[in-house]
C-alpha cells in the first residue's frame, strides 16, 4: 500500500475534530508552567527545543534560563565566542547541538536580519535544523500546521492510532509526519503539537501510561484493545561498546594541572579534559612513548584513585583515574596547557571529566 493510501487507511474512522478539541482543551487547562512557554518568541522556542532533545525538562530549565540571560537575542548568541557557548552548555551533553545552534543563529543574523525565518524551506536549510526542530518552531512560534515528530510523539500516536511500524526506522518517522498532517488542528497547530508533546511527557509515558487519566482515552485504539504497553514497536538498540582509558591528573611542580582541548570535530568536540590514554596502549608501570611524544613531557604515573564510568548513547568510557607528575621536559603541544586547578571553571568540561574535578582539591 502506498504511503498516502496507508495514511487514509489508518485515519479511516478516526474523529480528528473531536480528538483535536479534547487534546487542545486539556493542554490549555493542564499545561505545565515552563520558562519557554512565557511567550512565543521563535528564538526562545528554538533554544528550548534544541536543549530538550535527549534531555529531561527538569534538567533543561536552569540551563535555559541561564542561556537566555547570557544570550538573550540571536545577535548576542551569534557574536559570542564558541567557548562561551560551550561553557553555558557544560553538563547538558550532546555538545554538537550547541555548536550547530550557534552556527544556524549566525546564518539567521547574517541572512535574515536576526529574524528566525517563518518560511519552511528557509528554516529547514539552516544547519542543524532538522524536521523536528523546524516543525516545532513553525507550529509553536508561527502557528503553522507543520508536524513536529520525535520519539515521544511517535510513541503517543502509535498507541492512539494503533501503528505497529518500527519507530527506530527513518521511514516510520515519515509515516508519522504524514499522519500528523492528517490530524493536526489548522486553527491552533501550536497548542495541538505542544499538547501531543505534553501528553507524551506526563500522561502517555513509555512504561506506565496513565490511561485512566488520559484526556484522549476515548480516541485511543491501543487502550481499547488493551495493548498500550506493547506499543510503540522499537527494534532493540545495539549494545554500547566499552572503551577502557587512563584519565591522568598530571600536576607540575607549581601545583598546576594539565588539561587539553579535544579535537574540533567528533565526540565532545572542542571541550576541555584531563588527558585520556586508551588503556590498551599503555603499560601502566611506565610512560607510554606516544604520550611523551604528544606533549613533550615525561610523565610519571602515580596511584590509581578512582574508576569513572561514563555512558554515551553508543559507547561507554571506563576510566581509571590516576595521579601523575611531570618528571622532565617542557610542554610542547598547542592544544594542552597547565592551569591552576581553580581556573578550571573557566573552561567547558564534559560531565565525564567533571567527575574528576574534586580530586584536585585533595
Ligand atoms: S489512553 Fe493510554 S495509551 Fe492511549 S494515549 Fe492515553 S495514555 Fe496513551
Report whether 139 contacts 190 (CB < 8 A).
yes
- Whether the CA torsion 6, 12, 15, 17 is positive or negative: it is positive
The CATH code of the domain that includes 95 is 1.10.340.30
**Rounded average pLDDT over 224-233:** 96
pLDDT-based confidence at residue 289 (cuts at 50, 70, 90): very low
Asked whether residue 226 falls in the same domain as residue 294, the answer is: no
Q: What residues are in contact with ligand 1 under a 6 Å CB criterion?
A: 156, 159-160, 203-204, 209-211, 214, 216-217, 220, 222-223, 228
The verdict on residue 285 lying in a domain is: yes
Long-range contacts of 87-92 (CB under 8 A, 24+ apart): 87/346, 87/347, 87/348, 88/63, 89/63, 89/348, 90/271, 90/348, 90/349, 90/350, 90/354, 91/63, 91/351, 91/354, 92/51, 92/55, 92/59, 92/60, 92/63
Could you give phi then psi for residue 63, rounded to 5 degrees? -65, -45
**Ligand 1 atom closest to residue 215's alpha carbon, by position in its atom list:** 6
Domain of 42 in residue numbering reads as 3-230
The mean per-residue pLDDT over the stretch 304-308 comes to: 92
Are 218 and 298 members of one domain?
Answer: no
Confidence of residue 3 (pLDDT cuts 50, 70, 90): low
Q: Is 201 helix (H, G, I), strand (E, B) or coil?
A: helix
Least confident of 3-7, 40-44, 87-91: 3-7
From the candidates 5, 28, 38, 49, give the one annotated as an active-site residue: 49
Percent of the chain with pLDDT over 90: 79
Residue 290's pLDDT is 44
Pair (11, 118) in one structural domain: yes
Strands (E), 224-329: 241-251, 257-261, 272-273, 276-278, 297-311, 315-329
Q: Is the pLDDT of residue 32 over 60?
A: yes
* Domain end (from 185, 201, 230): 230
Mean pLDDT of 316-333: 87
Strand partners, 320: 246, 307
Mean pLDDT value across residues 70-88:
97
In a domain? residue 235? no
137 and 259 fall within a common domain: no
- Kindly give the residue spans of alpha helices, DSSP state H, lying in 203-275: 221-225
pLDDT value for 362: 56
- pTM here is 0.81
Strands 336-339 and 315-329: unpaired
pLDDT tens-digit series, residues 130-165: 999 999 999 999 999 999 999 999 999 999 999 999
Q: Tens of pLDDT along 203-216?
A: 999 999 999 999 99
Pocket test for ligand 1, best of 14, 222, 224, 232 (most atoms within 8 A of CB): 222
pLDDT at 270 over 70: yes
Lowest mean pLDDT among 61-70, 249-258, 275-284: 275-284
Under the banding of pLDDT at 50, 70 and 90, the label for residue 334 is confident
User: Which of the listed residues 215, 219, 223, 224 should we mutate to test ligand 1's pocket, taking the one with most ligand atoms within 8 A of CB?
Assistant: 223
pLDDT of 320 reads 92
Q: Are residues 204 and 249 in the same domain?
A: no
Same structural domain for residues 252 and 342? yes
- Pick the last residue of a domain from 171, 195, 230: 230
pLDDT band for position 78 (50/70/90)? Answer: very high
- Note whether 191 and 248 are same-domain residues: no
Clarify whether 49 is annotated catalytic. Answer: yes
Residues 200 and 327 in one domain: no
Which is nearest to 173 in space by CA: 132, 231, 220? 132
- Which residues make Cβ contacts (< 8 Å) with residue 30, sequence separation at least 6? 198, 215
Q: How many domains does the chain have?
A: 2
Strands 241-251 and 315-329: parallel
Phi, psi of 153 (to 5 degrees): -70, -35
Helix extents (H) in 113-219: 120-124, 131-136, 142, 151-160, 170-183, 189-202
Looking at the predicted structure, is the pLDDT value of residue 337 above 90?
Answer: yes
Quote the ligand 1 centre to 206 CA distance (angstroms).
10
Q: Which of 175, 209, 230 is the last residue of a domain?
A: 230
Amino acid at each position: 500500500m502506498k504511503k498516502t493510501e496507508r495514511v487514509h487507511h489508518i485515519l479511516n474512522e478516526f474523529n480528528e475534530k473531536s480528538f483535536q478539541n479534547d487534546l487542545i482543551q486539556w493542554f490549555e487547562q493542564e499545561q505545565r508552567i515552563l520558562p519557554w512557554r512565557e511567550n512565543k518568541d521563535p528564538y526562545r522556542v528554538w533554544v528550548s527545543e534544541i536543549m530538550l532533545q535527549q534531555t529531561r525538562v527538569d534538567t533543561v530549565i536552569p540551563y535555559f534560563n541561564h542561556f537566555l540571560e547570557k544570550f538573550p537575542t540571536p545577535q548576542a548568541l551569534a557574536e559570542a565566542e564558541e567557548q562561551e557557548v560551550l561553557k553555558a552548555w557544560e553538563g547538558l551533553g550532546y555538545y554538537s547541538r550547541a555548536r550547530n545552534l550557534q552556527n544556524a543563529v549566525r546564518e539567521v543574523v547574517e541572512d535574515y536580519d536576526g529574524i528566525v525565518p517563518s518560511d519552511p524551506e528557509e528554516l529547514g536549510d539552516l544547519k542543524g535544523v532538522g524536521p523536528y526542530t523546524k516543525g516545532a518552531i513553525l507550529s509553536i512560534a508561527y502557528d503553522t500546521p507543520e508536524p513536529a515528530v520525535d520519539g515521544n510523539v511517535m510513541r503517543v500516536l502509535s498507541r492512539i492510532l494503533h501503528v505497529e511500524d518500527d519507530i527506530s526506522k527513518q521511514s516510520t518517522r515519515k509515516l508519522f509526519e504524514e499522519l500528523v498532517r492528517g490530524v493536526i488542528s489548522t486553527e491552533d497547530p501550536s497548542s495541538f503539537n505542544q499538547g501531543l508533546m505534553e501528553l507524551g511527557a506526563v500522561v502517555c509515558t513509555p512504561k506506565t501510561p496513565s490511561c485512566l487519566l488520559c484526556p484522549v482515552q476515548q480516541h485511543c485504539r491501543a487502550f481499547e484493545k488493551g495493548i498500550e504497553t506493547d506499543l510503540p514497536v522499537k527494534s532493540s538498540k545495539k549494545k554500547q561498546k566499552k572503551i577502557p582509558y587512563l584519565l591522568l591528573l598530571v600536576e607540575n611542580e607549581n601545583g598546576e594541572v594539565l588539561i587539553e582541548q579535544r579535537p574540533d570535530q567528533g565526540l565532545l568536540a572542542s571541550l576541555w579534559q584531563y588527558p585520556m590514554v586508551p588503556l590498551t596502549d599503555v603499560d601502566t608501570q611506565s610512560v607510554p612513548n606516544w604520550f611523551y611524544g604528544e606533549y613533550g613531557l615525561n610523565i610519571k604515573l602515580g596511584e590509581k584513585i578512582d574508576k569513572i564510568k561514563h555512558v554515551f548513547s553508543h559507547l561507554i568510557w571506563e576510566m581509571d583515574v590516576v595521579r601523575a607528575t611531570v618528571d622532565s621536559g617542557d610542554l610542547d603541544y598547542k592544544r594542552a596547557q597547565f592551569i591552576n586547578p581553580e581556573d578550571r571553571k573557566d573552561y567547558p568540561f564534559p560531565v565525564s571529566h567533571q567527575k574528576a574535578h574534586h580530586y584536585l582539591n585533595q
